[in-house]
Homo-oligomer: A and B are copies of this chain.
Amino acid sequence: MASLHDVARLAGVSKSTVSRVINDEYGVKEATKIKVRRAIEECGYVVNQVAKDLKSNKTNLIGIIVPRVASNAVSQGVDGLSKTFEQASKHVLLANSGLEAGKEIQYIELFNQKRVEGIVMFATHIDDALITAIKRSRAPVVLIGQDGSGYNIPSVIHDDYRVGYCAAEQLHRAGCRSVGFLGVKSDDIAVDRQRYDGFSNALNYIGLSTPQFHTQGQFSIDSGREEMTRLLADNQRPDGIFCATDRIAIGAIQAIIASDLKPGKDIKVVGVGNDEMASVVTPGLSTFAYAFEPAGSNAAKMLLEIIEQGRSQVAKLVLGFDWVPRQSC
């Protein structure tokens, strides 16, 4: 592959001159410019950004770590991130941990070797190893989805506690007296713990009894259906359920229908996220719309501020949500 040196030889000038032409610097005679441009064309020269990055000690690179791409929260978040970074002339390295433990940490190290200027990570959980890895990282890290601000890691999160609280209020307002929670594994603070706590505390405040149940399934329609089927078979008969995600809620609705009960009437159902699916199921799923793409663009802005100013004014950004009432509650 042709280098500056080759171009210089071909044009009969020095590397310095070629460099000047390429970078549109002042003080090069028009005639030489033309010579050089012809030489560039002739040998198909393409700038070597690797060499430039080394020399300038700057990569304009941002690393993004995701557990998987094919999820509403992540794919929309990545769109928000990449658009914002693109505007700031940053380029994006994408790493997919595939939910394998330890992979995120490897990627943080790899990204530091690649001299990224910052890292955005979609977190599914937080543990000590991860925190240590983030602390060791030269490149600043911003978290999306889980709150790391307690460990001094800037984070963009959704208002998971309050969404649980509001869910209880909505179910109560709809006349429910006996309710439960379909959650996920408990090390997911944002999705399970926070939403459950908000829900539970609101029930308490309202004067209803604590949740009848708190299942711990997966992030899928199937899992929601199975958990709900099991509960109904167990003779659990709530009049309202709050589901940690819309997919779980949709599965629950299917189970309710399969038991010859009417979701939205016999049992009210509330989800979280406002997945597009929520708008097409029957009955329509009442849910809380989360701002997934803004989560990405805000995280990007925070990270850019940290990169440019050395620190961010905001330690934690909590995004609001909107209640989207449909037929299920």
Chain A residues within 8 Å of B, Cβ to Cβ: 1, 46-51, 53-54, 59, 64, 68-72, 74-76, 78-79, 82-83, 86, 91-96, 98, 109-110, 112-115, 138, 221, 250, 254, 276-277, 279-282, 293
Q: Considering the chains assembled together, what is the distance between the CA atoms of A301 and B121 in angstroms?
A: 27
CB pair A1–B138 under 8 Å, yes or no, is yes
Residues of B within 8 A of A79 (CB): 68-70, 96
The 7 closest A-B pairs by CB, nearest first: A82-B96, A282-B282, A75-B75, A70-B75, A94-B94, A49-B113, A69-B78
Known: A54-B54, A70-B293, A75-B75. 16 other contacts (CB 8 A): A46-B109, A46-B112, A46-B113, A47-B113, A50-B114, A51-B54, A64-B94, A69-B69, A69-B79, A70-B78, A91-B95, A91-B114, A92-B94, A221-B276, A281-B282, A282-B282
Residues of B within 8 A of A110 (CB): 91
What are 29 A-B pairs with beta-carbon distances under 8 A? A46-B138, A47-B113, A48-B113, A49-B113, A49-B115, A50-B53, A50-B59, A51-B54, A64-B94, A69-B75, A69-B76, A69-B78, A69-B82, A70-B76, A70-B293, A71-B75, A82-B95, A83-B96, A86-B96, A91-B95, A91-B114, A92-B94, A93-B93, A93-B94, A221-B276, A221-B280, A276-B277, A280-B281, A281-B282
Residues of B within 8 A of A59 (CB): 50
- Cross-interface CB contact of A91 among B46, B75, B93, cutoff 8 Å: B93
Residues of B within 8 A of A71 (CB): 75
Closest B residue to A85 using CB positions? B96
Closest B residue to A58 using CB positions? B50
Copies in the complex: 2
Residues of B within 8 A of A114 (CB): 49-50, 91
Q: Considering the chains assembled together, what is the distance between the CA atoms of A71 and B83 in angstroms?
A: 15
Residues of B within 8 A of A64 (CB): 94
Q: Considering the chains assembled together, what is the distance between the CA atoms of A98 and B83 in angstroms?
A: 8
Residues of B within 8 A of A276 (CB): 221, 277
Q: Considering the chains assembled together, what is the distance between the CA atoms of A175 and B110 in angstroms?
A: 59
Q: Considering the chains assembled together, what is the distance between the CA atoms of A23 and B254 in angstroms?
A: 57
